[in-house]
Amino acid sequence: MAEEFNIVLINPPITTTERYGKMANVGSETPPLGLCYIASFLERKGYPVSIIDAEFLNLSIEETVKKALINNPKIIGITAAITTYLSAVQVGTQIKTISPSVPIIIGGPHISALKTEVMNDSFDYGIYGEGELTFLELVKFLNNEVKKPISEIDGIIYKIKGEYQINKSREFIKNLDCLPFPARHLLPDLKLYRPNAQNYQKLPATTIITSRGCPYNCIFCDHSVFGRSYRTHGAKYVVDEIQLLHEKSGINEFWFVDDTFTLDQKRASDICDEIMSRKLKISWSCLGRVNTVNPELLKKMKKAGCWMIAYGIETGNPEVLKFIKKSITIPQVTDAIRWTKEAQILTKGYFMLGHPVDSLETIDETIEFAKTLDLDYALFTITSPLPNTELFDICKKTGTLHCDEINKFFAWNAIYEPPGVTKEQLETRLRHAYKSFYLRPRYILTQLFHIRGYDDLKRHVNAFFTIIQF
């Protein structure tokens, strides 16, 4: 029976320094929502589940393994991104040494992208793509609740006679509202988590995701988990989740981590209407796209509590924009930032330095462009080509790609050197970008007027000294 099955899900350990490098002081510690969705889906079906967020708890490999095995689990699931894959392998290996009969399932972005290339003897099964339905079906198979052969379970990787097999892909969930809310109750105190320093004004704050998939073709994005099919939760579902977190957990601020919250403008408007009709006293921020906003929507978002929108701008050079297939133009960037500011919403721009066609001149052009936009915040990173992306394939053919440095795949480390640009030059330009943007006297004076209370002051001071020491 399901009640006999004890399932442990693990977010493997990684320190903020390993993940963010010199930006660790302003990095985020956010709930592992992917695991929380799988956990809540299993709970709905009657399976006892626990989550070990080893990253947040700052556990060692050994501590993670000990905590995972303490209650004699029947199944262990581990998620892994590229930055946590090596840690996941270590956790899996040690568990197998102590309890070799416990099935270990690996899932997450890295296995979804590379499949058999990164399967390891410490993992019995891999799950690629969207995980809820696949994990449930695999659990039922392992618990002898279904009689179908393993070859008929879509979305999994496994080994037969020493050879890995990849079953056909599972169809994406069309109606996301059929999913229960993420099982955040299985995590440590939700109020202890925090987005990065620029993505909240007051704590407690948390992340929320209301859509899956992205239809755009940016060459640097990995679509391995959720694909290109854009699917959404309805406005009522979204605001029900917000209201629950607000009333039961005391969360007053939300960071929408959808790839593009404003992609469906009507849905975004409906969510705003729902928030306002319930008179929820919350604030929130989101990721937007410069070609998916308009003045009317932005004004409504402000009324509904939106205080900041982050836009992926990536470069200030039109030819580089075309190369990375961003499907936006420089005029769209300037219009969207102006409209957002006119709506009295703060703006943040994301920029990548070191595209395959970048030169030192175009990198400098991007830095200067960022300073002309009247942005409230800018996040500069060095281009990090993820496996299974068009960018990764391009970078293997041009410039120098350090594929062996998987454990250094954070966006402030130069994994890739474009033709004619060195690692040292990229990292020097990155430091220059931050200091020339944030240490402008006019910018500092403007930010002082935005500070609201002690928490906000503390956040700004912390960010300021991080930049000084960068």
* Secondary structure, 3-state, the chain: CHHHCCEEEEECCCCHHHHHHHHHHHCCECCCHHHHHHHHHHHHCCCCEEEEEHHHHCCCHHHHHHHHHCCCCCEEEEECCCCCHHHHHHHHHHHHHHCCCCCEEEECHHHHHHHHHCCCCCCCEEECCCCHHHHHHHHHHHCCCCCCCHHHCCCEEEEECCEEEECCCCCCCCCHHHCCCCCHHHCCCHHHCECCCCCCCCCCEEEECCEECCCCCCCCCCCCCCCCCCEECCHHHHHHHHHHHHHHHCCCEEEECCCCCCCCHHHHHHHHHHHHHCCCCCEEEEEECCCCCCHHHHHHHHHCCEEEEEEEEECCCHHHHHHCCCCCCHHHHHHHHHHHHHCCCEEEEEEEECCCCCCHHHHHHHHHHHHHCCCCEEEEEECCCCCCCHHHHHHHHCCEECCCCHHHCCCCCCCEECCCCCHHHHHHHHHHHHHHHHCCHHHHHHHHHHCCHHHHHHHHHHHHHHHHHC
Q: Is the pLDDT of residue 32 over 90?
A: yes
Residue scoring higher pLDDT (453 or 224): 224
Cα 57 from Cα 34, distance rounded (Å): 17
Mean pLDDT for the chain overall: 91
Q: How confident is the model at residue 5 (pLDDT cuts 50, 70, 90)?
A: low
Q: Is the pLDDT of residue 2 over 80?
A: no
pLDDT of residue 154: 97
Q: Which amino acid is at 73?
A: P
Task: Tell me the average pLDDT across 275-304.
Answer: 97
pLDDT of residue 249: 94
Q: Is the pLDDT of residue 469 over 70?
A: no
pLDDT of residue 406: 60
pLDDT tens figures, 329-338: 999 999 999 9
Q: Report if pTM > 0.75.
A: yes
Task: Tell me the average pLDDT across 370-394.
Answer: 93
Task: Tell me the average pLDDT across 310-329.
Answer: 97
CB 219 within 8 A of CB 325: yes
Residue scoring higher pLDDT (460 or 129): 129
Bridge partners for 449 per DSSP: none
Task: Tell me the average pLDDT across 193-215.
Answer: 88
Cα 184 from Cα 68, distance rounded (Å): 18
CB 164 within 8 A of CB 158: yes
pLDDT of residue 23: 54
Cα 32 from Cα 96, distance rounded (Å): 24
Q: How confident is the model at residue 140 (pLDDT cuts 50, 70, 90)?
A: very high
Scan for tokens 């959808």, then name that residue: 258
pLDDT tens figures, 63-108: 999 999 998 999 999 999 988 999 999 999 999 999 999 999 999 9
Q: How confident is the model at residue 444 (pLDDT cuts 50, 70, 90)?
A: confident
Determine whether 2 is exposed, middle or buried from the number of CB atoms within 10 Å of its CB (0-12, 13-18, 19+). Answer: middle
CB 326 within 8 A of CB 366: no
| CATH code of the domain occupying 189-469 | 3.80.30.20
Q: How confident is the model at residue 463 (pLDDT cuts 50, 70, 90)?
A: low
Q: Is the pLDDT of residue 20 over 80?
A: no
CA torsion 39-41-47-48 (nearest 10°) is: 30
pLDDT of residue 161: 87
pLDDT of residue 27: 59
pLDDT of residue 356: 97
pLDDT of residue 1: 39
Q: What is the domain partition of the chain in residue ranges?
A: 2-166, 189-469
CB 304 within 8 A of CB 279: no
| CATH code of the domain occupying 2-166 | 3.40.50.280
